[in-house]
């Protein structure tokens, strides 16, 4: 199975003609809620492609938490690793999107912010036999480090999405097998702008020096740059009519992990990631935009 250790959020999305300024009240056009959180998104992305997937995380004892649990289960994600934390609320993202696609986002970590070593112990019992551990940075960094260490010593490959953008401790690099920043995150990590293939190659070399063997830089609608110990290659993006790129990166990581778990080459896995990312960009919302196996296979064949 694939194991995800990370955040679970309810996204509260308001569509407005333009973003309000401070102190202003405006009329919006539409409102919807959708399952989100980078951890949950990556778990759903993997499970929808038909592979056994588990999530280890926390929810609050509230209606959003119960709804999110049902969403995960409906997508085929095993949730016995999810703890209901009585002390806080479920994670929430309050999102405003205007007609031009610009957005404002407030994330309240809630239960996600309380993941600690006890959650890593729950994770540890699931690691034997796992194909990969997927993590992101919407939970405390110290907990990510403990989990990476646990997976590393259990011989389970760690795929880290360093998102949202922030610096990561030096010790973490050597416990990660694959790191998958987008352009912004790569820039944050290396301290120079990563805005294309050439800069991505430079950034990858820098990150490899810090101890991670494989670097995959997600370059939005341009595609993906990949560097391993043996080679570097570029996979162009699939051409699609993008309406909302929310969770494109999560779709990418989920599909990447599924392909690798099924024994495909890294190059093939990156193509799978790019296909899932492109498909998710054609639909609104985080989890609602993640493709199922049938849609995915049809798209890959075209
Ligand atoms: P993130 O969602 O983390 O910011 P990206 O926007 O780079 O990451 O998207 C991840 C991957 O999804 C890209 O590398 C690309 O392969 C695919 N993708 C994203 N947006 C588009 C798009 N507009 N058209 C085609 N593919 C896309």
What CATH code is carried by the domain that includes residue 57? 3.40.1190.20
Residue 207 CB neighbour total at 10 angstroms? 24
Q: Spell out the residues 6+ positions from residue 44 whose beta carbon is closer than 8 angstroms to its own.
A: 35, 71, 72, 75, 77, 254, 287, 290
**pLDDT confidence tier of residue 101, bands split at 50, 70 and 90:** confident
**What is the C-alpha to C-alpha distance for residues 117 and 143, in angstroms, rounded to an integer?**
6
Cα(86)–Cα(145) distance, integer angstroms: 25
Q: Any known ligand binding at 57? A: no
Domain-embedded: residue 291: yes
228-262, pLDDT tens digit by residue? 999 999 999 999 999 888 899 999 999 999 999 99
Smallest CA-to-CA distance from 256 within 132, 155, 142, 172 is with: 132
Is residue 16 a part of any domain in this protein? no
Total domains in the chain come to 1
> Has residue 196 been placed in a domain?
yes
| Assigned domain for 185 exists | yes
pTM, two decimals, is 0.96
* Assigned token pair, 122: 């729950």
Per-residue confidence (pLDDT) for residue 285, from 0 to 100: 85
Whole-number Å distance, alpha carbon 53 to ligand 1 midpoint, is 23
Q: Are 99 and 17 in contact (CB under 8 A)?
A: yes
Q: CA of 85: how far to CAs of 57, 69, 126, in Å? A: 10, 13, 20
> By residue range, what is the domain housing residue 138?
2-8+36-90+110-301
Separation of CA 248 and ligand 1 centre (Å): 5
Q: Which of 181, 221, 283 to mutate to test the pocket of ligand 1 (most atoms within 8 A of CB)?
A: 221
Let me know if residue 294 belongs to a domain. Answer: yes
Specify if 178 maps to a domain: yes
Whether 69 is in a domain gets the answer yes
Ligand 1 pocket at CB < 6 A: 163, 182, 218-221, 223-224, 237-238, 240, 242, 245, 248-249, 252, 274, 277-278, 281
Whether residue 27 is contained in a domain is answered as no
């Amino acid at each position: 199975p694939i194991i995800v250790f990370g955040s679970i959020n309810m996204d509260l999305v308001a569509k407005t003609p333009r973003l309000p300024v401070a102190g202003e009240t405006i009329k919006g056009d539409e409102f919807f809620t959708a399952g989100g959180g980078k951890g949950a998104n990556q778990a759903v992305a993997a499970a929808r492609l038909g592979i056994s997937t588990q999530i280890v995380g926390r929810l609050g004892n509230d209606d959003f938490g119960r709804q999110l649990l049902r969403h995960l289960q409906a997508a085929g994600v095993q949730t016995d690793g999810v703890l209901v934390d009585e002390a806080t609320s479920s994670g929430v993202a309050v999102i405003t999107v205007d007609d031009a696609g610009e957005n404002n986002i407030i994330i309240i970590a809630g239960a996600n912010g309380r993941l600690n070593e006890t959650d890593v112990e729950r994770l540890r019992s699931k690691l034997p036999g796992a194909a990969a551990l997927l993590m992101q940075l919407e939970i405390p960094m110290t907990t990510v480090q403990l989990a990476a260490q646990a997976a590393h010593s259990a011989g389970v490959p760690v795929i880290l999405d360093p998102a949202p953008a922030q610096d990561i401790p030096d010790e973490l690099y050597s416990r990660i097998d694959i790191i998958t920043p987008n352009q912004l995150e790569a820039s944050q990590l290396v301290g120079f702008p990563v805005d294309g293939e050439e800069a991505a190659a430079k950034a990858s070399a820098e990150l490899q020096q810090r101890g991670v063997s494989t670097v995959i830089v997600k370059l939005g609608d341009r595609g993906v740059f990949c560097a391993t110990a043996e080679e570097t290659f570029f996979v162009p993006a699939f051409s699609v009519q993008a309406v909302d790129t929310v969770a494109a990166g999560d779709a990418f990581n989920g599909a990447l992990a599924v392909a690798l778990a099924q024994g495909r080459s890294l190059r093939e896995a990156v193509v799978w990631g790019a296909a899932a990312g492109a498909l998710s960009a054609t639909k609104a919302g985080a989890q609602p935009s993640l493709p199922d196996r049938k849609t995915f296979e049809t798209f890959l064949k075209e």
